[in-house]
Amino acid sequence: MKFICYTFLVFALFSCKGKVTDSSDSLPVLEVAGRFLYQDELEKIIPPNVSVIDSADVADRYIRKWVTEVLMYENARRNITNISEINKLVEEYRRSLIIHEYEQALIAQRLEREITEAELIDFYNKFKSQLLLNDNIVKGILLILPKDAPQLNDVYSWVRSADTKSLENIEKYSLKNAISYDYFNEWTAFSDIVRKTPFVIEDSRNFVTNTNFAETADSTKLYLLQISDALLAGEVEPYEMAKERIKNTILNKKKTDFIVELEKSIFNDAQRNGEINYFKNR
């Protein structure tokens, strides 16, 4: 009955055109177990440009959830026996969260985030024996056409050649005639390309190594694939592919080293300044 009555109160509240008030002046809407829900809290959760009826419905659902959580918390607090242990865990989490925020602020202020190209290349050269490919990767073209596409002889020639002029011709042709055109001049996983086609390939290593041009078709489409370069799974990952991951690795190491040095400095300063009091056991 109280919720039914309150629905009318909510409806009346959101029929008004007043703006959200300052929290210090906000009016309480209801109280349960000593906790108050204020008008401005309700107004903040109402989406813009909704009707009064929808606003009242959103507010009513929020109130039900809010009241239920307050009462559930009070019931749990009265019946849980290990509340002191929970408080301890909460305090530990709070302390860790504050320390983390402080560390992140110091990192943002003091740590140089720009990694030079020389650092990246040096890392790559030092650890490239560990940077191995998990998949065959290729560069090339995948052109998907309707079976009745015009100028197919020209298209075959352009795709096979894939020189600068041919690429320009393919791009212009594709705007009017292609279903899709992918020019992957950056290294791309071969498995990602094959998934777009009906190619049936039993030995992908052999295929990418020995194939420059291949075609297949289904009932309505023609698939033309040109491979200009390939690297096999197990080979060293190209620098341009590994670059971003190397950058993140170096940055994370710098962050870790910074925190280790910060903690060491704080401890040493406290010890030097006599802030740590050791007690001898009697």
Read off the pLDDT of residues 230-265 as tens digits, 9 standing for 90 and up. Answer: 999 999 999 999 999 999 999 999 999 999 999 999
- pLDDT: which is higher, 15 or 82: 82
Candidates 180, 183, 148; CA nearest to 166 is: 183
257 assigned to some structural domain: no
Q: Is the pLDDT of residue 16 over 90?
A: no
In-domain check, residue 153: yes
Q: Model confidence over 172-224: pLDDT tens digits?
A: 999 999 999 999 999 999 999 999 999 999 999 999 999 999 999 999 999 99
Rounded to whole angstroms, how far apart are CA atoms 26 and 12? Answer: 16
Spatial separation of the C-alpha atoms in residues 32 and 69, rounded to whole Å? 11
User: Do 137 and 51 share a structural domain?
Assistant: no
Q: Is the dihedral of CA 115, 121, 126, 131 positive or negative?
A: positive
142 & 68 share domain: no
Provide, rounded to the nearest whole percent, the portion of the chain with pLDDT above 90: 72
Say if residue 137 is in the same domain as residue 203: yes
User: Looking at the domain assignment, is residue 32 inside a domain?
Assistant: yes
Question: Is 138 found in the same domain as 72?
Answer: no
Asked which of 10-14, 109-113, 182-186, 273-277 is least confident by mean pLDDT, the reply is: 10-14
Full domain range(s) for residue 57: 2-79
Question: Residue 100 falls within a domain, yes or no?
Answer: no
Cβ contact 128:180 at 8 Å:
no
Query: For residues 33 and 67, what is the distance between their CA atoms, to the nearest angstrom?
Result: 9
Bridge partners, residue 140, by sequence:
184, 227
Alpha carbon 104 to its chain centroid, in Å, reads 19
* Average pLDDT score over residue span 135-142: 96
pTM: 0.66
Q: What is the mean pLDDT of residues 101-122?
A: 90
pLDDT at 20: 39
Residue 23, Cα to own-chain centre: how many angstroms? Answer: 34
Which string of b and e fits 65-100 if b means at least 16 CB within 10 Å?
ebbeebeeeeeeeeeeeeeeeeeeeeeeeeeeeeee
Asked if 184 and 167 count as a contact pair (C-beta separation under 8 A), the reply is no
pLDDT digits (tens, 9 = 90+) for 33-53: 999 999 888 888 888 888 888
Cβ count within 10 A of residue 27: 10
H-helix or E-strand containing 259? helix 239-272
277 inside domain: no
Mean pLDDT for 261-277 is: 92
Q: Quick check: 196 and 142 in contact, CB under 8 A?
A: yes
In the chain, how many domains are there? 2
How large is the C-alpha radius of gyration of the chain?
33
Is residue 156 situated within a structural domain? yes
Q: Are 177 and 144 in contact (CB under 8 A)?
A: no
Give me the count of residues in the chain.
Answer: 282
> H or E segment at 231?
strand 221-231
Question: Could you tell me if residue 241 is inside a domain?
Answer: no
In a domain, 262, yes or no: no
